[in-house]
Amino acid sequence: MSHPDFPTYRGRMEYVCLECNARYPGDDLLYTCPCCGGVFLLENLDFDRLKERSGAQWRELFDARATSRSTALRGIFRYYELLAPLPDEEDILYLGEGFTPVVEAAPALRDRVGVPFAYKNDGQNPSASFKDRGMACAFSYLKWLCRHRQWDEVLTVCASTGDTSAAAAQYAAYAGAPLKSAVLLPHGKVTPQQLSQPLGSGAVVLELPGVFDDCMKVVELLAENYRVALLNSKNSWRILGQESYAYETAQWYGWDMTDLCLFVPIGNAGNITAVMSGLLKMLDLGIITCLPRVFGVQSAHADPVWRYYDAPVGTRHWEPVTVTPSVAQAAMIGNPVSFPRVRQLAETFVEKGGEKAFQVLRVSEQQIMDATILANRHGHIACTQGGECLAGLLSARQLGLISGNERAVLDATAHILKFSGFQDMYFGNTFPPEYGITPDTSLANRPELLLPQDARTGRDVAEFARMGAEAVVRRLGLNPR
Ligand SMILES: *Cc1c(COP(=O)(O)O)cnc(C)c1O
Ligand SMILES: [Zn+2]
């Protein structure tokens, strides 16, 4: 049944609680530690067996898999052994996620920034954000688990107003029975665009009066007491899937991380956790021989991780912040659930890569929005979080943190179309004061109506076309040929 390319290796996965170090077998549906409520990282007890292959052999294998005709190996599971080596081929969901393009900065933009860089367009995933990487992994695991446990129904639930619910609803819709999905939203607190993705995917969309945090509490109660798979950011299977971003980036650069700097926006901090975890695994196996530098970026309106690392070593202490409205809305989180994961991984990262290997930058709302507009005026498709990364790169240049012979890869975590409302506010100069953004009005771009509203009435097509053409000629100053 299985494709000849599909790996035979299986791992022994265990949940490890980052608070109390308790361990639980990976074939249980666990969300947070039943003892203390801490978050988990998943560990493969048979990871060291992977060292029977050399780094060069792994690189060769992953390069060879790039041409595999097995659907299961075309997405994030190309790196099966490093991710979540449990599901069989039949369990793996592939909706076209992963292998998002790395697009070099347009020459004019590169010159302006003063350092070569590229965007990795994670907005070109199926539901238009990087969340698909984690969902592909979580759902493949769930399919495997249902088959093994012979469960005939599992409900997946998440509280979200954005990209997580869009991705969860889409993967559940594709998977079908025995998986079903419901999303819980705060009534009246989501825009029509944010609603349209889970509705279109046929998820049960439930609303509660209250805010996002209230919905979150409700789904956590459900997860404690009923058989539901909670797909919020604490879900540790999602982290494994998101590691694929690091593997793909390394592979794209020929596994050579010399002088490379990765910029990642930090919200709940799952993404940066995954990127660092993936890089460390590759280093451990000799797939890469040095670590790239990783720069986390936060908005000044939601900057708890920046505050923590801004303090000198020895005086650091963790404190959630109260957020204020941010255009990097998907990262607007004052108490990131994955912070314990970041702290643990950053320590190892700096140990192996030097103290400059992991840094967190803080940028203003103004810088984020200006950078988003700037990127997209140069042909990119950066969401506001992708703009946040460019703002981070510009700021790192200004602070002298990056030299001219380094190059950067910026994570455009979603497609700009999901965040076009902020572009509208920029062009229309309609930001509410709490954002603190003054648009560069010379960049305002709006459609221009060439003829009066009633110009078509009472005219035949030929006459109307002539008038229209004349108006275009006047506007663009065209010369006759
Ligand atoms: C979720 C999300 C983020 C934040 O990622 P974390 O893993 O929560 O740090 C950034 N950008 C987009 C578009 C997202 O959907
Ligand atoms: Zn615990």
The domain that holds 405 is classified in CATH as: 3.40.50.1100
Q: What local confidence, expressed as pLDDT, does residue 226 receive?
A: 85
Distance from C-alpha of 158 to C-alpha of 276, rounded to nearest angstrom: 25
8-state DSSP, 415? B
CA–centroid distance, residue 265 to ligand 1 (Å): 7
CA–centroid distance, residue 414 to ligand 1 (Å): 8
Q: What local confidence, expressed as pLDDT, does residue 189 receive?
A: 74
Between 3 and 261, where is the model more confident? 261
Say if ligand 1 is within 6 A of residue 271 CB.
yes
Q: Count how many domains the chain has.
A: 2
Structure tokens at 151: 């469960």
Atom index in ligand 1 nearest the CA of residue 385 equals: 11
Same domain, 390 and 431: yes
Indicate whether 397 belongs to any domain. Answer: yes
Say if ligand 1 is within 6 A of residue 122 CB.
no
Same domain, 321 and 468: no
Same domain, 411 and 472: no
Say if ligand 1 is within 6 A of residue 270 CB.
yes
pLDDT tens digits for 375-418? 999 999 999 999 999 999 999 999 999 998 999 999 999 999 99
Query: How many Cβ atoms are within 10 Å of 120's Cβ, its own excluded?
Result: 24
pLDDT at residue 3 is higher than 90:
no
Q: Is 254 left (phi over 0), alpha (psi -120 to 50) or beta?
A: left
Same domain, 361 and 419: yes
Which of 406, 316, 305, 407 has the alpha carbon at shortest distance from 362? 305
CA–centroid distance, residue 320 to ligand 2 (Å): 20
Distance from C-alpha of 183 to C-alpha of 166, rounded to nearest angstrom: 9
Distance from C-alpha of 465 to C-alpha of 481, rounded to nearest angstrom: 19
Distance from C-alpha of 325 to C-alpha of 433, rounded to nearest angstrom: 10
* 439 and 427 Cβ atoms separated by less than 8 Å: yes
Indicate whether 425 belongs to any domain. Answer: yes
Which amino acid is it at 19? Answer: E
Say if ligand 1 is within 6 A of residue 123 CB.
no
Distance from C-alpha of 361 to C-alpha of 394, rounded to nearest angstrom: 11
Structure tokens at 441: 């009005």
Indicate whether 403 belongs to any domain. Answer: yes
Alpha carbon separation from 420 to 194, 370, 382 (Å, rounded): 12, 14, 11
User: pLDDT band for position 1 (50/70/90)?
Assistant: low
Say if ligand 1 is within 6 A of residue 98 CB.
no
Indicate whether 316 belongs to any domain. Answer: yes
pLDDT tens digits for 91-117? 999 999 999 999 999 999 999 999 999
Name the residue of 97, 129, 194, 418 to mutate for ligand 1: max ligand atoms within 8 A of Cβ: 129
Q: Which residues contact 67 (CB under 8 A, 6 or more apart)?
A: none
Handedness of CA 219, 122, 302, 297 (dihedral sign): positive
Atom index in ligand 1 nearest the CA of residue 413 equals: 13
Distance from C-alpha of 234 to C-alpha of 120, rounded to nearest angstrom: 25
Of the bound ligands, which one is closest to the alpha carbon of residue 22?
2
pLDDT tens digits for 271-330? 999 999 999 999 999 999 999 999 999 999 999 999 999 999 999 999 999 999 999 998
Same domain, 429 and 471: no
Residues less than 5 Å from ion ligand 2, measured at CB: 17, 19-20, 22, 33, 35-36, 38
Structure tokens at 33: 């530690």
Same domain, 386 and 467: no
Q: Which residues contact 292 (CB under 8 A, 6 or more apart)?
A: 257, 260, 261, 262, 279
Say if ligand 1 is within 6 A of residue 167 CB.
no
Q: Which residues contact 366 (CB under 8 A, 6 or more apart)?
A: 436, 437, 438
Indicate whether 271 belongs to any domain. Answer: yes
Which of 421, 109, 98, 393 has the alpha carbon at shortest distance from 243? 98
| Tally of residues, the chain | 481
Say if ligand 1 is within 6 A of residue 267 CB.
yes
Same domain, 265 and 379: yes
8-state DSSP, 210? S
The range of the structural domain enclosing residue 346 comes to 102-126+239-435
pLDDT tens digits for 433-449? 999 999 998 888 999 99
Name the residue of 194, 216, 234, 268 to mutate for ligand 1: max ligand atoms within 8 A of Cβ: 268
Preceding omega of 178 cis (within 30 degrees of 0): yes
CA–centroid distance, residue 218 to ligand 2 (Å): 21
Alpha carbon separation from 272 to 130, 340, 415 (Å, rounded): 12, 12, 19
pLDDT tens digits for 137-168? 999 999 999 999 999 999 999 988 689 999 99
Question: Which residue's CA is the nearest one to ligand 1's atom 1?
Answer: 330
Q: Are strands 13-17 and 23-25 parallel, antiparallel or unpaired?
A: antiparallel
Same domain, 249 and 286: yes
Which of 124, 94, 75 has the alpha carbon at shortest distance from 386? 124
CA–centroid distance, residue 305 to ligand 1 (Å): 14
Q: Which residues contact 310 (CB under 8 A, 6 or more apart)?
A: 360, 362
Indicate whether 141 belongs to any domain. Answer: no
Structure tokens at 461: 């097509």
Same domain, 466 and 333: no
Indicate whether 254 belongs to any domain. Answer: yes
Q: Which residues contact 23 (CB under 8 A, 6 or more apart)?
A: 14, 15, 16, 17
The winner for highest mean pLDDT among 153-167, 182-196, 348-362 is 348-362
Q: Where are the beta strands (DSSP E) in 141-240?
A: 154-159, 179-186, 204-208, 228-230
* 87-91: Cβ within 8 A, 24+ apart: 87/140, 87/141, 87/143, 87/144, 88/2, 88/6, 88/144, 89/1, 89/2, 89/3, 89/6, 90/1, 91/140, 91/141, 91/143, 91/144, 91/147
Distance from C-alpha of 88 to C-alpha of 228, rounded to nearest angstrom: 22
Which amino acid is it at 198? Answer: P
CA–centroid distance, residue 271 to ligand 1 (Å): 7
User: pLDDT band for position 233 (50/70/90)?
Assistant: confident
Indicate whether 53 belongs to any domain. Answer: no
DSSP H/E element including 362: strand 358-363
Q: Where are the beta strands (DSSP E) in 88-161?
A: 102-104, 117-121, 154-159
Q: What local confidence, expressed as pLDDT, does residue 470 receive?
A: 97
Q: What local confidence, expressed as pLDDT, does residue 192 receive?
A: 76
Name the residue of 231, 385, 390, 410 to mutate for ligand 1: max ligand atoms within 8 A of Cβ: 385
Same domain, 476 and 371: no
Same domain, 413 and 338: yes
Mean pLDDT estimate for the chain:
95
Of the bound ligands, which one is closest to the alpha carbon of residue 41?
2
Mean pLDDT, range 41-48, rounded to an integer:
97
pLDDT tens digits for 198-229? 999 999 999 999 777 788 889 888 888 888 99
Same domain, 382 and 460: no
